[in-house]
Amino acid sequence: MTEPAGGSIGKSSSAITEKNTPTETEVDPADEGASCLPGPSCSNIESQIKTELSLLEMYIPHGPGKLRNRLKECALDWTPVTEVWPNVFLGNEETALDRAMLKTMGITHILNAAEIEVDLHANIIPRELHYQGMDITYYNVPALDEDMFDISEYFFPAAEFINKALSNPENKVLVHCVQGVSRSATLFLAYLMIQHDIMVENAIDHVTGVRWISPNMGFLKQLTALNSTLVEKRKLQLREQLKRGNEDTEKPIPEPQESKQRIEETVIHLKHCLQKCTLDQTSATEVWPSVVIGDEHTAMDRAKLKQRGITHILNAAAIKHNLMASLGMPRKEDLLRKVKTGAQYYKGMNITYYGVPVVDDPLFDISKYFYPSAAFIHQALSEPENKVLVHCSDGVSRSPTLFLAYLMIHRKMSVEDAIGHVLKVRCIWPNLGFLKQLAVLNSKLACQQ
């Protein structure tokens, strides 16, 4: 969690990722002046929840006036279109009407935040007809660029449209109005706040880092109200998690008794899907924008990691920290098929490291790491310049299982869709026990929807 003046609003207790400064001051020759940043510890989840709650209690949000001043600090020139997030573009009407440019950009979804057009006889001109034959999904928000217009009623539907489009990493979204500075920018800011847990100040800072925007004062007031609502909702969630004793993150996911047969059928189906993959095994594969699944060799190659721009590492084969390991005498079974890196291995590389001691055994309860690991990935991807490596020893069982859980929890995919997505680019083989736990997670998430 960042400072109270502008942080992120997480959705689960495990979504809090503090970048702690190492106590050692040794400088790594590979990158002088940089330090390695450890990730969250499962054992400290309750403490982290209390810390985030305390920060939110101290948080004093900016009002519309201060947000306006923040916007004025942007010195960028206006441009017709800008990529403001991976696969998301803010643009003007001219860009939206240029079919050739849309095709060149690879746009698959368009969110039009301008009012409905009418002809001389007051008949509505359906803009979606302009995109016939282009395989573009179109959504219109008939907003007026006026202070008194209630654009807030479209915050959640527009955010859902963008989020659903980005559930397929091959899709690209254009959010536009007439100039691409007020209505469309407001809806995109709301998307960042709702779907990526970013506070309004940070959302504005992110967009104005790449594009000049100028939402009207009425829209800024409505974004401020949305921000307050999301913060209060997060406070309630945190208090409830403390009251429950962190059941969601520390206890294994219970298997619904009434769906045992369905879960077994799902596991068999998933196994058959995995068997159909004909891809050759590779050391590392980008399985999602800015997310790579890899093996031990990938994780150990500091030069390649730097070349790839990796900023976050989730090691699903970390050594279990017990007394013998702390004394430098780990048991043989604790080292079996483990990747012996850790935060210190990446010292000097400005990498945030998070290790979970998963054993590639069908009887091992990997489900207790589903939410913390998914939150680690989700938090990392809240900054578009970050890149995540999720790895184990071979990159086929433990690390893919945790990444599949991320897709299910934060990208709202079913287990079948998540596996189908990964199998398009990488051959994976989670053991049957892990598949069963993913099927249980799938059942639980389906019940929550």
As annotated, the active-site residues are 392
**How large is the angle between the packed helices 200-208 and 217-244, nearest 10 degrees?**
130
Q: Where are the extended beta strands (E) located within 345-387?
A: 352-355
Distance between CA atoms of residues 340 and 296, nearest Å: 9
Q: Which tokens sit at 161? A: 């449209």
Distance between CA atoms of residues 86 and 88, nearest Å: 6
Angle made by CA atoms 37, 167, 15, in degrees to the nearest 5: 30
DSSP string, 111-154: EE-SPPPB-TTS-B--GGGGGTTS--EEEE-----STT---GGG
Distance between CA atoms of residues 111 and 331, nearest Å: 57
Distance between CA atoms of residues 449 and 446, nearest Å: 5
What lies within 8 Å, CB to CB, of 428 at 6+ separation is 274, 277, 293, 395, 396, 397, 400, 419, 422
Q: What secondary structure letter does DSSP report for 78?
A: P
Q: Which tokens sit at 71? A: 């916007």
Which residues, listed in sequence order, are joined to residue 176 by a DSSP beta bridge?
91, 112
Alpha helices by DSSP H, listed for 167-282, are 183-195, 200-208, 217-244, 247-250, 260-275
Distance between CA atoms of residues 194 and 356, nearest Å: 29
